[in-house]
Structure 1
């Protein structure tokens, strides 16, 4: 299938969205409703033309169908992530749970299951764009000391304080919290957390992640300016409150 020529409708200036979707009906529906919501919309009907359009249009966000002709949505996501951190929302079928997980691991920021409502798509776009604004523009090394409001983690000393009072953590609790704080506002699957925190040699129950998350929530509930959110069917995300993101 050949590319659809870029269609741009600039209205209220909500941002630039690239829709990469081979289904013409879905593409037309998204174009119309996103333009009505104030977005400048660019389109592509396959992955290769989507990459070309992404380079020329510099979108603020990409809506990406996983089931594309030729280059798959996963391949597209992998190619984009080599050079860009532009937010990506995947459009997936109900039975593609494995693809959802792989897509999130490759760097997609969220996913929406088909069939979807226009209101859900627009709400998710606004949410992902808000989260993206809280992230640093360029990759950074993990600092030894990091502060979120009244919370401070000192990685060199392996010490966590809240309002200058130390919170005692087990070694694995500290490592898990450190990883989440270092990578806020993005979804982490259980498998990714196990590999990053417990190590690739870990052969235990993946539910150990859930247990450690529960312990962290109990220790910090109502005391800190972030929340460890469960992303149903995917994993966990640490959300900083906007006033504590600076």
Structure 2
């Protein structure tokens, strides 16, 4: 069965171009001119992948990304004319899996779409027992499926939050510096992006952990970075 892709962009010529190239590769594509329309379609049936333009009338692509990510782990590619490191990090922090700057070659988009599907298929094809689970306190991460549980229940995480916890749990004896986290998760360093991007992500994840009354805490190592601990309830 063909993979279903939703594309949201208010520039009809760009939508047509994307649709044309993706359909030639065997994908099923639907185009939308605004954020509200693609969200309504996702409510009816979630696609296999979403491509979202940032600047759209009404609801922008970043807001759409946030709304979709609240309900699904479907792969999301953000496309935007904004090319600063901070813009890229904002897109990834909100839950997108890739960020492509306009103007771009259609074949580049096709390549990235295929790469995302290969990654998703690889994860879904792995057996849980063949993956080394990562545990701390009441949290368990399943890297093969890129899912997590907290107190035995599913714990919804954005891709970036998952990668942060995975990085921390794979290095349990060490605190992680902000610069190390930028390099590991965002593939940039503090010369390109303010380290507050790390703090913003940690703040959101702390809130999630606190709301679920998790034993796991993200401690600040002042002047350096963060470490995970598993203590008692506050």
TM-score (norm 2): 0.59
Deviates more, 1:94-103 or 1:33-42: 94-103
Give the match for residue 73 of structure 2: 85
Q: 1:200 to 1:65 in 2, by over 3 A?
A: farther
Kindly report structure 1 stretches of 4+ aligned residues shifted beyond 6 Å: none
Matches of 2:222 and 2:39, distance apart in 1? 37
> Unmatched 5+ residue regions in structure 2?
124-143, 153-164, 189-194, 203-216, 227-234
Decide whether the 8 Å contact of 1:20 with 1:43 is kept in 2.
Answer: yes
CA RMSD, Structure 1 to Structure 2 (Å): 4.1
Please, which of 140, 147, 169 is the counterpart of residue 149 of structure 2? 140
Larger Rg: 1
1:40 partnered with 2:28: yes
Give the match for residue 70 of structure 1: 58
Aligned residues: 169
Q: Give the deviation of 1:188 after TM superposition.
A: 7.2
Give the match for residue 100 of structure 2: 112
Q: 1:128 to 1:200 in 2, by over 3 A?
A: farther
- 1:18-52 Cα deviation digits (max 9, x unpaired): 00111000001111111111000011110001101
Matches of 1:48 and 1:102, distance apart in 2? 21
Give the match for residue 136 of structure 2: none
> Unmatched 5+ residue regions in structure 1?
1-12, 144-154, 161-167, 210-246
Q: 1:21 to 1:203 in 2, by over 3 A?
A: farther
Deviates more, 1:125-134 or 1:64-73: 125-134
TM-score (norm 1): 0.56
- 1:55-83 Cα deviation digits (max 9, x unpaired): 22321000110111110111111111111
Matches of 2:169 and 2:39, distance apart in 1? 44
1:122 partnered with 2:131: no
Q: Give the deviation of 1:86 after TM superposition.
A: 0.6
Q: Give the deviation of 1:101 after TM superposition.
A: 1.3
Alignment of 1:170-185 (within 5 A): 171-172=174-175
Q: 1:202 to 1:115 in 2, by over 3 A?
A: farther
Deviates more, 1:127-136 or 1:194-203: 194-203
